[in-house]
Amino acid sequence: MTDFTATKAAFHLPEGMIYLDGNSLGPLPRAAVARIERTMRAEWGEMLITGWNKAGWMDLPARLGDRIARLIGAAPGTVAMGDTLSIKVYQALASALEMRPDRRVILSDSGNFPTDLYMAEGLIRTLDRGHELRTPAPEAVADHITDQVAVVLLTEVDYRTGRKHDMAAITAAAHDAGALVIWDLAHSAGALPVDVAGCGADFAVGCTYKYLNGGPGAPAFIHVAPDHIDRVRPALSGWLGHEAPFAFDLDYRPGAGVERMRVGTPPILQLAALDAALDVWDGVDMADLRARSIALCDRFIAGVEAACPDLRLASPRDGAARGSQVSFRFEHGYAAMQALIARGVIGDFRAPDIMRFGITPLYIGTAEIDAAVAIIGDVMENRLWDRAEYQTRARVT
């Protein structure tokens, strides 16, 4: 059994704040502070350049890749760390398209996170070979898998609604049609059990600053299925993905295995923080996490619906069809979220009208859910959002 009291104690949670935004940026793991300090003082400070060998900095991306692999059901040696998720989407898509040279369609959906679609558009323009991006409604994706499709590029859990695709079923349908599949696990890794190997995903990508609590700007990950690893040709052929970076050859030769998906110098301070953040997961059973997540989400939905008739549930009511977030639609959602933040309930807003709440069992329990519901009820019943100061949108919503 997972000890959720122990996992909560592993985080610094500001006094008086109910943090329901771990689906955007996870809180600070206490151990990360000492770990960063050690990396700065004892490694960077004392070892300087020799830290790349002495402190094992160069091996960190592979070592942490293996730790992430366990959380997404991937084999060791199939996950590389680095860059941002947008870059990893581009890398996966470029490699996958090259593996299906006779096909021209990239199939995504209209609920996908914009950067995935933007990166696909940019790649299509660069390739200039007549590729086409299709974005049907999430519910209709399966009907659009045809023998024209080269790659299916989907985010498992919709960032707005929390609706969850059936990864196994879509992957199987795509493979039956001869297409490859890339899963964006930004809202899945650390949020629910994922089995990339079991469902046969060709590529998976994700970030580590949300449910994995690696900190703002923490590096992304990319998984390549073992059958493909030695065949993929990295489009972003950086020197640290080279077979022998320190040979300084003039020509690129891809490195062994998933190391070839590395690009340039890894962010050591961020990786150190992430390493400390991942320690929390050592004692977590993902089935326990999922059961608690669904129970907390159900409790939150029931409480908010009972207290706030103006809020309309935007997430699936069935826990099995949902990720680890709950969203409500409200015409004045931005202002209402600002009013909640002023009262210490932190969620976020996604245009046009979505109020989004991340439910993260590592550090959120029934007490926080009930307290948040009471504050949301008060803000809505007394129209506390209807003040001039809550109407102006900040740069980050």
* Positions marked active-site: 113, 184, 209-210, 356
Q: How far apart are CA 376 and CA 14, in angstroms?
A: 19
Residue 155 C-beta: closest distance to ligand PLP, Å: 4
| Percent of the chain that is helix, strand, coil (3-state, to 5) | 45, 15, 40
Q: How far is the CB of 153 from ligand PLP (least distance, A)?
A: 10
Q: Which is closer to ligand PLP, CB of 115 or CB of 135?
A: 115
**What minimum distance in Å lies between the beta carbon of 84 and ligand PLP?**
4
Q: Map tokens 């793991």 to a residue.
A: 29
Alpha helices in the chain (DSSP H): 4-9, 30-38, 46-47, 51-54, 60-71, 85-99, 114-127, 167-176, 196-199, 226-229, 268-279, 286-307, 333-342, 366-381
Alpha-carbon dihedral of residues 63, 65, 67, 70, nearest 10 degrees?
Answer: -140
CB of 88 to ligand PLP, least distance (A): 8
Could you say which DSSP state residue 15 is in? Answer: T
Amino acid at 29: P
Residue in 360, 339, 359, 363 with CA at minimum distance from that of residue 349 = 339
With the C-alpha atoms ordered 129, 227, 67, 285, is the resulting torsion angle positive or negative? Answer: positive
Q: How far apart are alpha carbons 266 and 240 in whole angstroms?
A: 9
63 - beta bridge partners?
Answer: none
Question: What phi and psi values does residue 79 have, to the nearest 5 degrees?
Answer: -130, 130
Query: Closer CB to ligand PLP, residue 131 or residue 210?
Result: 210
What is the contact surface with ligand PLP in residues (CB under 6 A)? 84-86, 113, 115-116, 155, 159, 184, 186-187, 207, 220
Question: Which helix (H) or strand (E) covers residue 28, if one does?
Answer: strand 28-29
Q: Which CB atom, from 6 or from 321, has the smaller least distance to ligand PLP? A: 321
Distance between CA atoms of residues 212 and 101, nearest Å: 35
Q: Phi, psi (5° rounding) for residue 160?
A: -85, -55
The angle that helices 60-71 and 268-279 make with each other, rounded to 10 degrees, is 40
Q: How far is the CB of 210 from ligand PLP (least distance, A)?
A: 7
Among residues 274, 276, 261, 271, which one has the least CA distance to residue 225? 261
Q: How far is the CB of 233 from ligand PLP (least distance, A)?
A: 22
**Six-digit token string for 337:** 């979220």
Shortest separation between residue 110's beta carbon and ligand PLP, angstroms: 14
